[in-house]
């Protein structure tokens, strides 16, 4: 671990440990889950009645989907979330994208996370909406543009990977240096601060591990990420941002996508149980998106290549159902799905109806709402 990584994580852990678990009131929180790599929306929310789907995907088409309407089925790995959908707490928006779509991960992520497709990405949509003094935290490794301010301001970051990392010989040697009390008052204050940070790191690691094992979170890295998010949500920050990688399924997609969706659904379901136990199920809105969908036709490697329009899921106090229309598999544009919903319509409604912000100042103009939020 680099020294700056340790210090940054130590400060983050100390800060999170000091945040109170609020008992009074129910402040609204937005949880953003970014599926990095490009989730395959067509195999997540399946147009199972469309013969073009099976024609384009003779090997990858999902035959045992879970029907939620006359023409749409969910991937069977999403079964844990079906009770939430049937209770009207899940909204799925299909055909989401932006004009002149890019097939580059880097450019498309910049477009989504900046909220500004027409200009260079210098700041994030959430950072502009929140301002400098908001309580927000990022859970992940690579800091997202969405939470980057105009002058490179950053919010708190906590890394689940670093929390569970086994200390190296160098880590242990550095830690030993701070075991001995110092004679100079200034040096002793530094030593005590480092010791407190180490203890905070240990507490966070212990809490995340304990929750993942006892509260139904999936085993492994994704489960520990969601367990850590559950702990952070107890402090009622305005925004928690989580990145989950691995969704770039060019090859061997069927088992990989199945595993990712299973961990995602199990993690989200455990998190909903956690929130319900706290009475917070209606004060946390979860927004799940990816930088693009996948190409409708399968490739020769048992996978799919970069596409355009994808799907967005919102979980919590929403007007549940399916939005955005069916994928137009009979009207492909250069082999990809046409975009039917601009992603800024979703972001704009979240800004207005959930965060109480003016979307024009964040996204450059007002966008028509889809009616997902009351």
Q: pLDDT tens, 233-286?
A: 988 999 999 999 999 999 999 999 999 999 999 999 999 999 999 999 999 999
Evaluate whether residue 85 is within a structural domain. yes
Scanning the structure block, which residue is given the tokens 């937005």? 30
In a domain? residue 357: yes
- 276 inside domain: yes
Helix (H, G, I), strand (E, B) or coil at 31: strand
| The model's pTM | 0.86
What phi and psi values does residue 323 have, to the nearest 5 degrees? Answer: -130, 160
What is the structure's pLDDT at 219?
85
> What gap in Å lies between CA 198 and CA 335, rounded to an integer?
53
pLDDT digits (tens, 9 = 90+) for 101-124: 999 999 999 999 999 988 778 899
SS3 assignment, position 190: helix
In this structure, is residue 349 part of a structural domain? yes
Chain-centroid distance of CA 337 in Å reads 23
CATH number at residue 45: 3.40.720.10
- Upper half-sphere CA count for residue 303 (Cβ side, 13 Å): 17
Residue 287, H or E segment:
strand 284-290
Q: In the numeric block, which tokens belong to residue 278?
A: 């706290």
Distance CA(80)–CA(84), nearest Å, equals: 8
Q: How many domains does the chain have?
A: 1
Please name which of 197, 178, 196, 175 lies closest in space to residue 187, comparing C-alpha atoms.
Answer: 178
Domain residues for the domain of 229 are 28-164+219-363
Is 195 part of a structural domain of the chain? no
21 burial level (CB within 10 Å; 0-12, 13-18, 19+)? exposed
């Amino acid at each position: 671990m680099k020294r700056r990584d340790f210090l940054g994580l130590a400060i983050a852990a100390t800060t999170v440990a000091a945040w109170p678990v609020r008992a009074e009131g129910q402040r609204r929180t937005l949880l953003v889950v970014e599926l990095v790599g490009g989730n395959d929306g067509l195999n997540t929310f399946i147009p199972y009645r469309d013969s073009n789907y099976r024609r384009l995907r003779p090997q990858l088409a999902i035959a045992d989907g879970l029907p939620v309407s006359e023409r749409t089925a969910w991937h069977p790995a999403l079964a844990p979330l079906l009770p939430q959908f049937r209770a009207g707490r899940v909204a799925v928006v299909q055909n989401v994208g932006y004009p002149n779509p890019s097939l580059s991960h880097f450019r498309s992520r910049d477009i989504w996370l900046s909220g500004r497709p027409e200009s260079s990405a210098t700041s994030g949509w959430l950072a502009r909406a929140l301002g400098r003094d908001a309580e927000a935290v990022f859970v992940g490794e690579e800091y997202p543009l969405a939470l980057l301010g105009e002058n490179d301001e950053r919010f708190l970051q906590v890394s689940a990977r670093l929390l569970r990392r086994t200390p190296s010989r160098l880590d242990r040697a550095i830690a030993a240096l701070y075991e001995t009390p110092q004679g100079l008052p200034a040096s002793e204050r530094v030593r005590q601060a480092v010791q407190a940070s180490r203890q905070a790191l240990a507490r966070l690691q212990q809490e995340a591990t304990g929750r993942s094992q006892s509260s139904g979170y999936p085993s492994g890295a994704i489960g520990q990420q969601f367990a850590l998010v559950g702990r952070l949500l107890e402090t009622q920050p305005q925004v928690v941002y989580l990145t989950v990688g691995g969704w770039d399924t060019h090859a061997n997609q069927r088992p990989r996508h199945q595993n990712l969706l299973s961990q995602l659904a199990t993690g989200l379901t455990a998190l909903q149980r956690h929130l319900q136990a706290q009475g917070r199920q209606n004060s946390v809105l979860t927004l799940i998106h990816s930088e693009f969908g996948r190409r409708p036709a399968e490739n020769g490697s048992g996978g799919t290549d970069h596409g355009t329009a994808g799907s967005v899921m919102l979980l919590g106090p929403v007007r549940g159902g399916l939005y955005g229309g069916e994928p137009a598999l009979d009207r492909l544009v250069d082999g990809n799905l046409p975009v039917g919903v601009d992603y800024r319509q979703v972001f704009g409604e979240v800004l207005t109806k959930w965060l109480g912000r003016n979307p024009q100042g964040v996204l450059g103009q007002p966008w028509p709402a889809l009616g997902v939020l009351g």
